[in-house]
Amino acid sequence: MRLDPDRLDELFLQLGHQAAEDVVCRALEELAARLTHVERFYRQGKMRDMRKCARSLGAIADQLGMEALARVARDVSGCSDAGDAVALAATLARLLRVGEVSLTEIWDEPAY
């Protein structure tokens, strides 16, 4: 998965180590929760809520430098907008896989 370590470095420089670590931890918790919500909304047929949640998930991922996760979240929104149910199902499955790997990867970053 693609992770932009420069985004995290910038965050740590701006906020200081402890504050940045707190922000990153809260953001990761929020990403994990939103991944769960996106899947649940999809299964419940709540496409508007799913799309909104995917968009916010992508924005948070982008702020942390989780480029692949942000891109796939945007793709989920795009498939939803297009009304392509098959592409949406496949892209949502990819979002869940990429999300899991991305959350694991960011914890493996040596400086954080």
Q: Is the pLDDT of residue 112 over 50?
A: no
Let me know the angle formed at the C-alpha of 110 by 15 and 59, rounded to the nearest 5 degrees: 50
Q: Is the pLDDT of residue 111 over 60?
A: no
Q: Is the pLDDT of residue 80 over 80?
A: yes
H helix count then E strand count, the chain: 5, 0
> Are 69 and 92 in contact, with CB atoms under 8 Å apart?
no
Rounded distance between C-alpha atoms, residue 112 and residue 67, angstroms: 18
Rounded distance between C-alpha atoms, residue 31 and residue 112, angstroms: 17
Q: Which of 6-15, 27-36, 66-75 has the lowest mean pLDDT?
A: 6-15
Q: Is the pLDDT of residue 109 over 80?
A: no
**Total-model pTM:** 0.86
Mean pLDDT of 16-26: 92
Q: What is the pLDDT at residue 110?
A: 53
Mean pLDDT of 68-91: 96
Burial class (CB in 10 A: 0-12, 13-18, 19+), 29: exposed
